[in-house]
Structures are given as C-alpha cells and as structure tokens.
Structure 1
Amino acid sequence: MAKIGLLGGSFNPAHIGHRKASLAALQALGLDAVWWLVSPQNPLKSDKDMAPYEARLASAREMAARAPIMVSDFEVQAGTQYTIDTISAIQRHFSHHDFIWLMGEDSVANFHQWKDWRGLARSIPIAVMTRPGYKSDARTARAMGWLRWFVRPASTAKEWTEWRSPAITFLRLPPDNSSATALRALHPDWHLAYRKKAAG
C-alpha cells in the first residue's frame, strides 16, 4: 500500500510554498507521494479573483514537475465540491492506498465551517503544515476545542498509518512566506501566460 498525502486547494496560482511544504511533509510523514487536488471552486472562497481552472491546473503541474507530487483533477472528474465527499470518493477508488489529509495552519482557523468537519476528521488522519503567522490562530481555532483531544505528537508523525481517526498532528516544517494572494497582487494577469501556452 502506498502512503499518500492529499493537499487540496485552489492553487491560484500554485507557488514554491506549496512545493516546499509538500516535500517537507513527505519527509516528515514518510510518504510515497503527495497528490495536489486542484479544486474547481472552494465553497468558502469567492470566485471574484479566481483564475480559470485550466490555468490553475497548469500552474500546479509546472510547479510540481520533477517531484513526487501528482497533480489531480479528481474533483472535476468525480463531481465533488466538498472535501469530505472528495475524500470518501478517493478512498473508494483507491482502497489499496493509505491517505492522510494535509492542510496549512491558516485553514485550521475556519475548519469548523467545512461540511461535516467532524466526519471528515473521523474518516482520515490530518497533518497540519506550518504557515508563518498562523500558529496562534491554528492552536486556538474553534475546531481545536474538539480536535485537541486527538492531537498526536509530531515526533510520531511517521507512525500515522497506525493511528485511529480522529487523529491530527502539527508538523514542524521550515517556514515559507510564499503566498498566492501576494503573487496575484504582483501579477494579476498571471493566468494569461498559461492560456497562451495552451493555445500555442
């Protein structure tokens, strides 16, 4: 059975921070690979500044090149929108793999807004990745009032396949200040280059 980390997101655009965090998590958790699940539309985010899906997918593939990272359009193919539905479908389709959900510290703050977040935590172990400036928000997040009973030490991270969910660990990864928001502010038309590549 392969050990796979699942990282969902808009990847609007994908950036070096996604790559560095994924590779660091791969080492910390003893993974065989990380799958990037490019979301058609995050239910908790506005589509106002969202680049076309094809451009976001292309940017993720470019950023993941020559690394044990697979970029996937699984949510488009499966027709899922919410993480719990995506995870359920992946676990059915790839029952021969072990999966762990990867999420940034910034996502922990609104985890209680995710569809059936407790059910999600019961269905798959979770590894939280370092995100500069969000450590305090993650530790005091509303969802942690319940999840704190299931925190596993980072020192045991490579044993995650033996954990019984709910189980969550906070990985100690090298910080990286890369931000998709900052990149869009600098290059608001970043996606046009990927359209040209597709057309040419």
Structure 2
Amino acid sequence: MKSIVLFRGSFDPVNIGHMMMALSALNLLKAERVIFIPSCNSIDKLDGLERIKMLKLAFRDFNVDKSKFMISPVEIKKEIHEPLDTIRYFKKKYSEMKLLYLLGQDEISSLSSFKGIEDMKKLVNFIYVSRTGYEANEELIKKYQMKKLDIMNMDIHSKEIRSGYHLYTSRSVIDYIADHQLYFCARLFSMMKPKRYYHSVSVAKTAYEIAIRSKCSLDPLECYQAGLFHDCGKNIPLEEQEALTHEFYSQYEPVEPFALHQFASCVIAKRDFGIDNEEVLSSICYHCTGRRNMSDMEKLIYAADKVEPTREFETKKSRLACYKNLEKGFITTLKEQEKFFLAHHIAYKEHFLSKEMYEQYLGE
C-alpha cells in the first residue's frame, strides 16, 4: 500500500531540521509525498499565511520535488485544533493510502493527552525521530507501536531562530524574516533608525554571499547573523555606549565616539539576545576598528560592512574582490578605504587597534 507522511507542526518558522526530517522520511519510508500541515493560528504564533510563505521559500531553497512536498492549510483555514480532526480529514481524502504521522521524540510524552488518541492509533502509523535532551518514552512507544526513523539528529529549535540565537533555516527564509522585521528582527528594527537597520540587513546579505562565493570555511548563516547584529548598539545614546564600553572593554579606552558602538553592539547581542557564539561576537566587536591577527569572520564582517551595496561610496570593486577571495578582498577593502580617507583628509589610525591593523595587513 502506498503511503503519505503527515508532518504537523507550528513551523514558526520552518528550520533546517524540519526539512531534513521530511526529506529523510520521504526517502527512507519510500512515501509518495510529505504533507506539511502548519497548525492553526494562536496568539503565540506568527500568522499562518506568513508561516506558509516561509515554507514555500524553504521548499524552493531545498529544490524539492513539488509533486512530493505539499503544504496543507487545512488547520489554518478550518481552524482545526485537534490532530484527530486533521487525521480524519486526510484519511477521507486519501482513503486508499497508509498515513504515517511524523513527530519528534520530544512530542511523544504529550501523545497520551491528545484528544482521541486511541482513534488516532487506528488511523495512522506513528513515526518518530530522536531529539537531543529528550529520553525516549519506551512505554508509549510500545503502546502506540511507534517506529523510529534513523536519521542524523539535528538539535535545532525554531524558538532559537525567533530569538536570533541562531539562524539555522534556509537563506530565503532568513531574508524574509529580515525584510519583514519578523521575530527578533522586529526588536532590532525598534532599536535602530530605519536607515541603520536596512544597512545591517544589507551587510548580513553581503556577508552571506562572501562566505558562499569565496568558498571559505565559514558558516554563511553565522556570517549573516553577525551582519544583522553588528550595529545593534549604534543608535542607543552615546552615554550608554560609553558606559558599556567602560564596563566591558575598558582596556581599549579612550575610544573615539565613532567606534564605541562596536563594543556596545557586542554587549547587547550577548546580553539582550543571548548570542554566545564567540566568533560571531568578536566579529561584531571589531568591525569598526579592526585589530591585529583578525580571524576570518572578523575580516569578513569588517569588509562586508564597508562594501555592502547601499553604501554611499563606490564599493563594487572591493565587493567583487571579496567574492573571489576573502583574504585578498579584505586587503583590497583596506586599500580602497585608506585611499578614500586620505582623499577626504580623514584621520583613520587614531585608535591603536586600527593602527595595528593597517600596520600588519598593509605593511605600514
């Protein structure tokens, strides 16, 4: 008997783990198709139509076979709240097919509280995948005759995307979140002037492109994250920037006003958004002054900030150089920047961090 996988969830937003679960289920279970079923709207979830748009973007990015991957808005349109009602709907629609209900190991313990769970057991076969930090409830697994889908465990949670802690979803989904100020980006937008926010989004997209096109070893999604947050402290009062710098980075004082925000942004990204990726944080911390012995991500974010296409000065030459080779592009960016500063009589080596960067990388 042919089978269909029912994959019900909030998908708020869809993440890489969801997509890998679905692809694995389709192939390992030899199913005809996987149907994603976003759960009905509620006050704690993004509107269902937005979630469906992001699912479609993820499908496009993963280049899935549209005849094998479908999205059903049945719970959103019909305001269905109970899984049993959803299963009955699909059993009626696909009466000649076996229904496989896909869920994560973290959901197993809640199965017994589902309304009509005994009827669900008669209508579907339960398939589960393991999740880090959750013990398998062997009693329920046996009771509901559940089968485990053996795939690589991806410890990814949508709530961590919503908070900005990480961005492990597809590129187009992250673009959609940033462009429409959803989830944590709504908070970022409220902290910045609009022009500063749009600059940050452009830096994030440029950083991602540099990571991909230059074929460096950096995670492009982490580069995107660093780009989004690099100026999150730029528009807070200067006194607050000074206070944060003095509290956490006093070793670099005195700091010129134009550079204070790099330290403030690093503190805010860690303190207010919970980001703990040290590579991401350090690339935020030195994106303005630079420093000696910069890491690859520090170089990438430093360059992306200077070469993103919405800048009011010419950036194409340096940007294309970064796309070809990160190291050479970074040096090109420094040279073009130095040329600009000299032409406009701008002091650019006032802080010792900047002075040491130029001395090391341009041999000055």
Structure-1-length-normalised TM-score: 0.74
Deviations 1:12-50 (A, max 9, x none): 001111000111111221112110001114xxxxx4431
What is residue 93 of structure 1 aligned with on the other side? 93
Q: How has the CA–CA distance of structure 1 residues 40 and 191 changed in structure 2, closer, same or farther, with 3 Å as cutoff?
A: farther
What is residue 158 of structure 2 aligned with on the other side? 180
Q: 1:148 aligns with which of 142, 149, 169?
A: 142
Deviations 1:39-95 (A, max 9, x none): 114xxxxx4431111111111121123313211102234442211111011111222
2:25 is the alignment partner of 1:25 = yes
Once residues 99 and 107 of structure 2 are traced to their aligned partners in structure 1, the CA distance between those partners, rounded to angstroms, is 19
Once residues 56 and 130 of structure 2 are traced to their aligned partners in structure 1, the CA distance between those partners, rounded to angstroms, is 23
Aligned residues: 168
Once residues 37 and 29 of structure 1 are traced to their aligned partners in structure 2, the CA distance between those partners, rounded to angstroms, is 19
What is residue 190 of structure 1 aligned with on the other side? 177
Deviations 1:143-184 (A, max 9, x none): 61xx4145xxxxxxxxxxxxxxxx320121111122101001
Letter in 2 for 1:172: D
Q: Which moved more, 1:105-114 or 1:7-16?
A: 105-114
2:144 is the alignment partner of 1:139 = no
Q: How has the CA–CA distance of structure 1 residues 126 and 175 changed in structure 2, closer, same or farther, with 3 Å as cutoff?
A: same
What is residue 296 of structure 2 aligned with on the other side? none
Contact persistence 2:4–2:97 (CA under 8 A) = yes
Letter in 2 for 1:27: N
- Structure 1 unaligned regions, length at least 5: 42-46, 151-166, 196-200
- Structure 2 unaligned regions, length at least 5: 166-175, 183-364
Letter in 1 for 2:102: L
Once residues 122 and 103 of structure 1 are traced to their aligned partners in structure 2, the CA distance between those partners, rounded to angstroms, is 17
| Helix, strand or coil at the partner of 1:8 | strand
Q: How has the CA–CA distance of structure 1 residues 93 and 32 changed in structure 2, closer, same or farther, with 3 Å as cutoff?
A: closer
Larger gyration radius, structure 1 or structure 2: 2
Contact persistence 1:58–1:194 (CA under 8 A) = no
Once residues 2 and 77 of structure 1 are traced to their aligned partners in structure 2, the CA distance between those partners, rounded to angstroms, is 27
Percent identity between matched residues is 21
Once residues 5 and 81 of structure 1 are traced to their aligned partners in structure 2, the CA distance between those partners, rounded to angstroms, is 19
What is residue 156 of structure 1 aligned with on the other side? none
2:60 is the alignment partner of 1:60 = no
Q: How has the CA–CA distance of structure 1 residues 33 and 191 changed in structure 2, closer, same or farther, with 3 Å as cutoff?
A: farther
More helix by percentage = 2
2:93 is the alignment partner of 1:106 = no
Q: How has the CA–CA distance of structure 1 residues 102 and 54 changed in structure 2, closer, same or farther, with 3 Å as cutoff?
A: same
What is residue 16 of structure 2 aligned with on the other side? 16
More strand by percentage = 1
Letter in 2 for 1:193: H
What is residue 46 of structure 2 aligned with on the other side? 51
Q: Which has the higher contact order (CA 8 A, sep 6+)?
A: 1
Once residues 92 and 121 of structure 1 are traced to their aligned partners in structure 2, the CA distance between those partners, rounded to angstroms, is 16
